[in-house]
Each structure stands twice: as structure tokens, then as C-alpha cells.
Amino acid sequence: MNTVFGDLITNLSSGVKLCLFRKLGPESFRISADQFVILYLFNIALSIFIGYLENLPDPQFNKYTITNEGFSAATLLLSVYIVSRLILHRQVATALSVLILSTSPYFFIIWHIAESVMTTSNSSSSYWLVYGIYIVWLISTILWCIRILAGTAPAKITASFLVVIFTWIVPVWIFAGNISYWYSDEGTKNNDSYSAYRDLNAERILFTQSSLLNRDLQKLQPQRPGIVDLYFIGVGAYATQDVFLKETLYAKNLFDQRFDTQGRSLALVNHLSTHEDMPLATSTNLEKALHYIGTLMNKDEDVLVLYMTSHGSSDHELSVSFWPLPLNDITPAMLRDYLDKSGIKWQVVMISACYSGGFVEPLKTPHVAIATAAAPDRTSFGCSNENDFTYFGEALLKDQLQKEFSIPAAFSRATIAITERESKENLTASHPQTFIGDAIRPLLDDLTTELKILNLDKSVNADY
């Protein structure tokens, strides 16, 4: 037993010298299968101990790290086997494993020290500089280990080095990562952006949707004879990014203030901050809302305005997401079916999502005006938490409809603005799509005149 631990001390001592690129030979190490196992267990024990200290006062054991550790060990063994079997000679398999494991504790300790220092500095550039230096040091030491065993044969050193990098280092970096045996329960609650979602009572939320939606639908006012009434539905369908919430509520307020939809507007939103007070953006709620509004409207003169914002997929599905709720995405065929069944004749549809151009053809009729953020095969931009709008929403809602009553003109000018912005930012063009049906165009022109008069009257009354 004393010999085993004495050999361990010898190997760890030589490991320090290896990390400092001192000239050593295989004789400086104690090479054996026993030492491979002892060094491997020593590295695990060190990781468990330091991880425990770092996550005080409430460390929780992370069982998934065991799987990662097994993957790392398996790839290391595969790596040294290939090197010993195909490039060097069979006797170096255990030796290369011992040399690498002799340096591992020092890389582990140095990285944790550097990471703790850089975390407090709040400097991204400094963090990546230190990380880069660390990676160069790591791979240089591995190269030094191989050189000790391969001698001065450049081809064998290079080949062995590449095998170790691409069969051990890269797979571990990609698939195993840097996962500690311990995590702080308090820290997880504070830093886990999904913890609030895990606490949701999915059954209760879904059960209350009928009452929330019916409450808001009952507030909607019926159409006014002789007036072209606009009815607005905003759909913010992706819960974990705030931009869709912001854009939907902005659109609703904009149409209430400038397009006379006050009392005839509805928002369906997926978001933590609104799920108890507002109906969710689900395909079922949208279908029911369209059907109900269809019963309120004068189908010969009134217009539905539908604004939908979320992520989109290349197979033209609008993402409807509020994890952990099992919600259905919305396809062009589903939306076409909902609109047809509602009996609503005049429709203005605006969709801010990647690949949203895939909705244009299925929705096209002479009675429809459509604008989408992207072509069927293109992505759109601006879907970030820190943004108040997507590029499409900003150009259409904020920059055009905030000052323009003509919906066709706003569509056209927003498309030009988006194209110019993407070109200036060197982005792949999204190619927003627009379509104005022949039948709805004169109705929208009349609506523009009506809204200008209405807002002029508001302005005059405000002056008095």
C-alpha cells in the first residue's frame, strides 16, 4: 500500500514538471495499471471535494456528472488505445494514460481559480483571453506528454496528438462539458431561467382558459351600423422571449388608439407575467376568438386585423410555446380553416416570424391583405429578449402604422425599411412578403379616409 501511494506522489510530482514543460523521460513516472486507476480515482475525488466547497452552504449532488465522467474515461481509453495500437507501440497505452492523468489535477485547480477570478471581473474579453491561454496550455501539455513517449519522430508525434485531440478532448468538450459533481440549490433557483416554468400548474392553467377567454370576449362590443369597424386580435405565441409579449401589447394599444379598435380588441399572449390575467395564445383560443368575433361583425363592411408574432419553422409552422403546457403549433392550413369557419370576410393578417411567407399562398383571397416578416425560405430578425420589437414589428407598427392610416402604404414602406436595415447590417435578406387582394384594396382606401376624419375630429375636440 505504501508503494502505491508513494508512486502516486511521484506521478503527481512529475505531473507538475510536465505542466511546466520540464524535460522528463518515462522513467520519471511510475507506470502501471494500478497507477492509472489510482490517478483516475484521485482526479474524481479532487473534483468532488472542490465542487462541494464551491457550492456551500447548500451543495446538492449532481448524479448526471457520473455519466459524463464515464464518457470522458471511455474516450480517453479509446484515444490511447488507437495511439498505442496504430501509431506508437502497445506498451505506451498505460504510460500515456498515466502521464495525462498526472497533469489533470493541476489543470482542474488552475481553471477553477481562473474562472472564479474572471467571473468577478465581468469582462467578457478578459474571460475569453484567459480561456484561450488555458486551452493552449492544455493542448501543449498533451503534446509534451506524447513527445516524451514518441521520442523525436515528428510524424508519430503529430499523428498521436491529432488522435488524442479528436477522439478525447473534442468529444468531451462537446458532449460532456464542464459539469460539477455538486450544484448550489439556491444558486440554481436564482440562475435557472426555467425554474418558474417548472413551478407552473399546467392543469390549472389549461382549465382556466375557457373562463379567461370568455371574460375577454364578453367585453367586446358589437359592430356599429354604417361604420367600418376594425376588430383586432394580437397573438404573442412564444413564452420565453419577452419581445413577443411587448410587440403584441404594443400592436393592440396602437390599433386601439389610432384605428378605433378600443372595445373591439383582444390579446392572446403566452408569458409568465400575464398567464393568470390574459388568455393564452393557443390554437384553440384563437379559433374560438375568431368564431366569436365573426358573430359580432357586420361581415359586409367590418374588417378583422390579426397580428401574430412568434418563431417560425422552415415547414411553415408558427411556434405556439409555453412549456410545460402541451400546445399545438399553428400551420397555414389551420389558420385558413379557422378564418373560413369564422365567416369573417375582410381580413388583414400580419405575421412576424421566420419563414412566415409560407402563410401567404394558403391565405390569399381577393378579400385579404397580408404582410409577413420573411419569405417562405428566409429567416427574419429581432427575436431577442432585450428588444421591444422584431425588425418587422418595428418597421410596420412603430415606424409606419404609428403615423400612417393606410395599411397598404404601411406594408409597402415597412418592406423597404426592413430591406435597407438588413443591407446596412450585412444580414441575409428576409424578403418580407405582402399581398393586397383586389376586393379589399378599395375598402382599405375608404377606411384610411374614415380614420383620418375620425382622428382629425379627436384632435379638434382635444384642442377645446
Encode 235-273: b = buried (16+ Cβ within 10 Å), e = exposed.
bbbbbebbbbbbbbbbbbbbbbebbbbeebbbbbbbbee
Mean pLDDT of 323-340: 94
Helix spans in 307-439 (H): 332-342, 360-363, 391-393, 407-424
Residue 373 clears pLDDT 80, i.e. is over it:
yes
Residue 103 clears pLDDT 70, i.e. is over it:
yes
Residue 242 is placed in which grid cell? 419577452
Mean pLDDT of 7-23: 93
Residue 462 clears pLDDT 80, i.e. is over it:
no
If one counts every other C-beta atom within 10 angstroms of the C-beta of residue 383, the result is: 23
Residue 42 is placed in which grid cell? 484521485
Residue 88 clears pLDDT 50, i.e. is over it:
yes
Mean pLDDT of 239-250: 92
Find out whether 373 and 308 touch, Cβ atoms under 8 Å.
Answer: no
pLDDT digits (tens, 9 = 90+) for 24-60: 888 999 999 999 999 999 999 999 998 888 888 878 8
H/E run at residue 266: strand 265-269
What's the confidence (pLDDT) of residue 451? 86
Residue 456 clears pLDDT 60, i.e. is over it:
no
Amino acid at 242: D
Find out whether 305 and 261 touch, Cβ atoms under 8 Å.
Answer: yes
- The average confidence (pLDDT) of the chain is 88
Mean pLDDT of 345-361: 96
Residue 231 clears pLDDT 80, i.e. is over it:
yes
For the entire predicted model, the pTM comes to 0.62
Residue 214 clears pLDDT 80, i.e. is over it:
yes
Q: How confident is the model at residue 195 (pLDDT cuts 50, 70, 90)?
A: low
DSSP string over 107-125 = HHHHHHHHHHHHHHHT-HH
Q: How confident is the model at residue 131 (pLDDT cuts 50, 70, 90)?
A: confident
What's the confidence (pLDDT) of residue 269? 95
Q: How confident is the model at residue 226 (pLDDT cuts 50, 70, 90)?
A: confident
Q: How confident is the model at residue 378 (pLDDT cuts 50, 70, 90)?
A: very high
What's the confidence (pLDDT) of residue 143? 92
Of residues 131 and 179, which shows the higher confidence score? 131
